[in-house]
Amino acid sequence: MDISHLNTNILTHTAIIALKNAYDECTERPAKESIVIAFKALTQLGQDLESRDNISETDNDYDPSEYCAAV
């Protein structure tokens, strides 16, 4: 596991915790729905990156800064 993969995992975990906390504190239904959508998108993005890493560790052409922007 290289450092960019580790950083991606840390960033994903941190964002998921923040989204869960926001959901728990939120009282408005439309905002809760938006948080759920963001959570699902973040989870899918993380899974896509993990799948990509498992397919070819040498073909690491994604930019970690793009992942940070997506989060």
DSSP string, 2-64: -HHHHHHHHHHHHHHHHHHHHHHH---HHHHHHHHHHHHHHHHHHHHHHHHHHH-SS-----H
The answer on pLDDT for 58 being more than 50 is no
pLDDT score at 49: 73
Residue range 20-51, pLDDT digits in tens = 999 999 999 999 999 999 888 888 887 877 77
The more confidently predicted of residues 6 and 2 is 6
pTM check: above 0.85: no
Provide φ and ψ at 2, rounded to 5°.
Answer: -85, 170
Upper half-sphere CA count for residue 60 (Cβ side, 13 Å): 12
16 token code pair: 């998921």
